[in-house]
C-alpha cells in the first residue's frame, strides 16, 4: 500500500506520538530509543511536512531533531531550508553558516546562503563566499570544471546583479564547455551573449539548449524571439509547432505560432492556430487582437474592424480598437458621428497618444470642423507623431481653411519622411483633391 501527501504526514505523526517521550502506550520502547534515533524520527517527520509545504510545522520538528543530535550538519541545513521558504532570510543565513561549519564541503548550505544573500540584495557577499569555497576546493573558475551547476548559476547571478555580464558570460562559457550536455548552462551562456549583443553565439547556444531539453519553454520562447528578430521565421515555426503539439501549450505559444505563420505568408494556418486556441480558452482579448492584426496585415480591414468590434464588447475601454474603428470610419467617410464618438472615447482614455489625436483630428476634418481638426493634428505632431500620414492630414486641414503656405509646409515635411509617397506628391503638385490616401 502506498501512502501519499497529508496521509503520510499524519501516519508518521501518529508513530511519533506512540513512541515519543510523552507516550503512555509503550514506555519500554521509549526507554530503548536513544537520542539519535528519536532525532531521526523528528527529522523524517519534518521532511514529510516540508514536502507538503507545512514549513512552520517542519521547522519545529527539525529543531527538535537538532537538539537531540546537534552534530548532524544536515539538520541545520534543513532548518535553514524551511526558513528560506518562509522568507525568514536572516535566520536562514545563520542556519547555513552553522551547517557549513559542521560540513564545510556540503553544497546545499553554501547554495542556500548564496541564494539568501542574493534575495537580500547582497550580491558582493554571495560572490565572495562562492569564490572562497571554489578556491578552497582548487576549482578554476575560468574553466568551471568540477563546479556543481547550482553554484555556477548562483555565482553568475551575483555577477549579473553587479552588472558584470562579461564575467558572467565567461563563467557560463566555461561551465557550458565543461559539460556540453547541460541545457541550463547552454541557455545561461546564450542569454549572456544576447545581453552583450553577440547574437550568433546566442543563437548557437539556444539551439543547443533547445535540442538537449526541448520541453524547456523559456529556452524555446527565447529562441523563437531571437529567430523572429533576425527575420528567420521559417526556422521558428518547427520549434513552436513542437510546443503546441505537446498538448499543454500556453496562449502565448499559440499566439507566437499564429504570428510566425502570418509572417511566413500562411494566413490560413495562422487563423487555424488562433481557432485552436479559441476552442481551448474562448475568444479572449489577446486572441482577438492577434486575429485583427493578421486581417489588417493582409489588407482585410473590414474583417479587422469586425474583430475590433468584438474586442470592444469584451472591453469597452480597448483604446486600440476604439481608435482603429474610428479611423476606418473617418477615412472612408462613413458613419462619421459614430467615428467621432469612438475617437472621443479613445482620447479620454489615452489623451497623450499622438495616434489617437490624429484619428480625432481626421474625424473632425471629415466632418468639416477644420479648426478643431487643426488643434488635434497639431497636438498629435507635438506629442511626437513622426508620420507622413499625420502631417498630410495636418496639411489638408490647413488647406481647407486657406492656409496654403502652412499646408505646403506640412506636406513637404511629410515628403521628407516618405519621399515616394504619391498622395503627398500629388498634393504638392495640386493634382488631386485631399479626400483620399
Q: What is the 3-state secondary structure (H, E, C) of the chain?
A: CCCCHHHHHHHHHHHHHHHCCCCCCCHHHHHHCCHHHHHHHHHHHHHHHHHCCCHHHHHHHHHHHHHHCCCCCHHHHHHHHHHHHCCCHHHHHHHHHHHHHHCCCCHHHHHHHHHHHHHCCCHHHHHHHHHHHHHHCCCCCCCCCCCCHHHHHHHHHHHHHCCCHHHHHHHHHHHHHHCCCCHHHHHHHHHHHHHCCCHHHHHHHHHHHHHHCCCCHHHHHHHHHHHHHCCCHHHHHHHHHHHHHCCCCCHHHHHHHHHHHHHCCCHHHHHHHHHHHHHHHCCCHHHHHHHHHHHHHCCCHHHHHHHHHHHHHHCCCCHHHHHHHHHHHHHHCCCHHHHHHHHHHHHHHCCCCHHHHHHHHHHHHHCCCHHHHHHHHHHHHHCCCCCHHHHHHHHHHHHHCCCHHHHHHHHHHHHHHCCCCHHHHHHHHCCCCCCCC
How far apart CA 401 and CA 395 sit, in angstroms, is 10
pLDDT given at position 334: 92
Check whether 433 has a pLDDT greater than 60: no
| 144-194 confidence digits (pLDDT tens) | 556 688 888 999 999 999 999 999 999 999 889 888 899 999 999 999 999
- Of 229, 227, 295, 230, nearest to 258 by C-alpha is 295
Confidence band (pLDDT; 50, 70, 90) for 68?
A: confident
| 212-237 confidence digits (pLDDT tens) | 999 898 999 999 999 999 999 999 99
pLDDT given at position 39: 82
pLDDT given at position 19: 43
pLDDT given at position 141: 64
How far apart CA 237 and CA 256 sit, in angstroms, is 9
CB 389 within 8 A of CB 369: no
Check whether 385 has a pLDDT greater than 60: yes
CB 236 within 8 A of CB 227: yes
pLDDT given at position 394: 96
Average pLDDT of every residue of the chain: 87
pLDDT given at position 2: 41
Check whether 252 has a pLDDT greater than 70: yes
Label residue 351 exposed, middle or buried (CB < 10 Å: 0-12, 13-18, 19+): exposed
pLDDT given at position 434: 53
pLDDT given at position 431: 47
Residue 3, CA distances (Å) to 6, 9, 11 in order: 9, 9, 9
Task: Tell me the mean pLDDT in the region 60-84.
Answer: 87
Q: What percent of the chain has pLDDT over 70?
A: 89
Confidence band (pLDDT; 50, 70, 90) for 29?
A: very low
Task: Tell me the mean pLDDT in the region 88-104.
Answer: 87
Q: What percent of the chain has pLDDT over 90?
A: 65
pLDDT given at position 143: 60
Check whether 437 has a pLDDT greater than 80: no
Confidence band (pLDDT; 50, 70, 90) for 324?
A: very high
- The full set of domains in the chain, from first to last, is 338-437 (1.25.40.10)
Of 89-103, 220-234, 359-373, give the lowest mean pLDDT range.
89-103
- The C-alpha angle with vertex 262 and arms to 258 and 268, in degrees rounded to 5, equals 80
How far apart CA 250 and CA 238 sit, in angstroms, is 16
pLDDT given at position 254: 92
pLDDT given at position 138: 72
pLDDT given at position 358: 97
- Of 309, 402, 326, 392, nearest to 364 by C-alpha is 326
CB 80 within 8 A of CB 112: yes
pLDDT given at position 435: 53
Confidence band (pLDDT; 50, 70, 90) for 75?
A: confident
Task: Tell me the mean pLDDT in the region 4-16.
Answer: 48
Amino acid at each position: 500500500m502506498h501512502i501519499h501527501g497529508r496521509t503520510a504526514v499524519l501516519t508518521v505523526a501518529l508513530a511519533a506520538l506512540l513512541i515519543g517521550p510523552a507516550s503512555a502506550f509503550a514506555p519500554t520502547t521509549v526507554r530503548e530509543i536513544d537520542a539519535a534515533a528519536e532525532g531521526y524520527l523528528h527529522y523524517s517527520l519534518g521532511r514529510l511536512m516540508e514536502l507538503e509545504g507545512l514549513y512552520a510545522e517542519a521547522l519545529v520538528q527539525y529543531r527538535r531533531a537538532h537538539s537531540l543530535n546537534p552534530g548532524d550538519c544536515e539538520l541545520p541545513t534543513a532548518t535553514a531550508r524551511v526558513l528560506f521558504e518562509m522568507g525568514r532570510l536572516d535566520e536562514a543565513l545563520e542556519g547555513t553558516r552553522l551547517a557549513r561549519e559542521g560540513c564545510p564541503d556540503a553544497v546545499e548550505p553554501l547554495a542556500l546562503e548564496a541564494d539568501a544573500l542574493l534575495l537580500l540584495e547582497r550580491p558582493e557577499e554571495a560572490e565572495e563566499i562562492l569564490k572562497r569555497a571554489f578556491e578552497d576546493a582548487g576549482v578554476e573558475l575560468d574553466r568551471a570544471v568540477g563546479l556543481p551547476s547550482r553554484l555556477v548559476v548562483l555565482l553568475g547571478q551575483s555577477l549579473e546583479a553587479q552588472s558584470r555580464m562579461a564575467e558572467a558570460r565567461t563563467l557560463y562559457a566555461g561551465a557550458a564547455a565543461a559539460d556540453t550536455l547541460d541545457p541550463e548552462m547552454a541557455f545561461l551562456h546564450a542569454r549572456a551573449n544576447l545581453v552583450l549583443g553577440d547574437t550568433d553565439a546566442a543563437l548557437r547556444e539556444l539551439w543547443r539548449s533547445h535540442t538537449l531539453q526541448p520541453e524547456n519553454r523559456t529556452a524555446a520562447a527565447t529562441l523563437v524571439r531571437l529567430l523572429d528578430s533576425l527575420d528567420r521565421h521559417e526556422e521558428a515555426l518547427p520549434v513552436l509547432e513542437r510546443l503546441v503539439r505537446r498538448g499543454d501549450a500556453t496562449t502565448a505559444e499559440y499566439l507566437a505560432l499564429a504570428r510566425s505563420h502570418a509572417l511566413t505568408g500562411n494566413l490560413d494556418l495562422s487563423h487555424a492556430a488562433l481557432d485552436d486556441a479559441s476552442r481551448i480558452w474562448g475568444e479572449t482579448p489577446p486572441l482577438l487582437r492577434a486575429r485583427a492584426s493578421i486581417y489588417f496585415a493582409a489588407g482585410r480591414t473590414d474583417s479587422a474592424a469586425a474583430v475590433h468590434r468584438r474586442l470592444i464588447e469584451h472591453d469597452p475601454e480597448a483604446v486600440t480598437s476604439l481608435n482603429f474603428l474610428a479611423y476606418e470610419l473617418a477615412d472612408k467617410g462613413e458613419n462619421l458621428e459614430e467615428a467621432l464618438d469612438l475617437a472621443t472615447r479613445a482620447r479620454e482614455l489615452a489623451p497623450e497618444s499622438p495616434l489617437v489625436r490624429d484619428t480625432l483630428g481626421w474625424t473632425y476634418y471629415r466632418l468639416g470642423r477644420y479648426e478643431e481638426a487643426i488643434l488635434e493634428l497639431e497636438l498629435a505632431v507635438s506629442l511626437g507623431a513622426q508620420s507622413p500620414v499625420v502631417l498630410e492630414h495636418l496639411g489638408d486641414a490647413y488647406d481647407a481653411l486657406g492656409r496654403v503656405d502652412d499646408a505646403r509646409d506640412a506636406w513637404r515635411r511629410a515628403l521628407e519622411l516618405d519621399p515616394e509617397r504619391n498622395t503627398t506628391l500629388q498634393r504638392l503638385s495640386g493634382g488631386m483633391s485631399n479626400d483620399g490616401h
